[in-house]
Amino acid sequence: MNDLNRCIELLERKEKLVALLAPSFPVMYDYPKIVARLKALGFTHVIEVTAGAVRTNEAVISLLKANPEARFITSPCPGFVRLVRKSYPQLLPYLAFKADSPMIASAKIAKEKYPDCQTVFIGPCLAKKLESSEDYPDLNLLVLTYRELDSVFQKFNIGDDVDATGAAFDVAEAGTRIYPMDGGLTITSGLRDILKEEEIRIVSGYKNIPAVLEEFGKNPKIRFVDVLFCDGGCINGPGMVSTLTLEERKKKIHDFAAQVKEIKDCHSTTGITPEKAL
Ligand code: SF4
């Protein structure tokens, strides 16, 4: 049974479910209404995946500090990881696998906080299904795209008219809300405080990746490559349903990140407020 049908079955059986909502969600859904809609569907808790991104950032910074000579390529993007496995296996040792992706880190937060719940990641990415089933089968994590979530809303007749009064993430993190755009990890982790600009490369879009990997191979001064497979980052993932341009999608993310009220409502372990990150 695929993850979509499994999720529908669990909702019909009224099992306890926790949703992990990817940071790109503001491109498609309004907050806090999306939380109200997920709870109306039957999800008992909703975690903002930006909380997992904080753990990813902390792990990346620790890796760099513990290995001052080492060079790393980011690994949270399963589309890119699969490209490396297939076409650039010589680069596998550089992938920073010791840092969990935000999805995996969030799934671990869910296991800690709500151990009796089935966890469902909801995001823009098809390759996350492979990351879950092939790389982390023990986490038993279901993965839905936003496109699939829309079909679930439709099936259970949960529209935009739900009452969102009092709705809010059960676990939230404002400091990493620009994560789904290219360079999100570099900006929100504070990487630029420990590496010089010429030691960092940021790239998104599969057509742009080969040139940067070639440069990484030739130039040992490059210590860190922050890479996302989709052009512009996860805001342009294949599971997204949107007619917005890339610039309009970025604005949606910036606007949500700039909701200052949210900062008061949730913790920011990065110490990076949305204003600083913008
Ligand atoms: S950049 Fe694309 S392939 Fe990579 S994690 Fe984001 S949506 Fe998935």
Domain boundaries defined on the chain = 3-8+17-236+253-263
Indicate which atom in ligand 1 lies nearest the CA of residue 79.
3
Q: Which of 48, 6, 45, 40 is nearest to 257 (CA)?
A: 48
Residue nearest ligand 1's atom 8 by CA: 125
Q: Give distance in angstroms: CA of 227 to centre of ligand 1.
A: 10
Going through the chain in order, the beta strands assigned E by DSSP cover 17-21, 43-48, 72-73, 118-123, 142-145, 200-204, 224-228
122 lines ligand 1 (CB under 6 A): no
Q: What is the pLDDT along the chain (278 residues), one digit of tens a residue?
A: 899 999 999 999 999 999 999 999 999 999 999 999 999 999 999 999 999 999 999 999 999 999 998 999 999 999 999 999 999 999 999 998 788 999 999 999 999 999 999 999 999 999 999 999 999 999 999 999 999 999 999 999 999 999 999 999 999 999 999 999 999 999 999 999 999 999 999 999 999 999 999 999 999 999 999 999 999 999 999 999 999 999 999 999 999 999 854 544 444 444 444 344 43
For residues 122 and 144, the answer to whether their CB atoms sit within 8 Å is yes
185 lines ligand 1 (CB under 6 A): no
CA distance 23 to 262: 14
Model confidence, pTM: 0.93
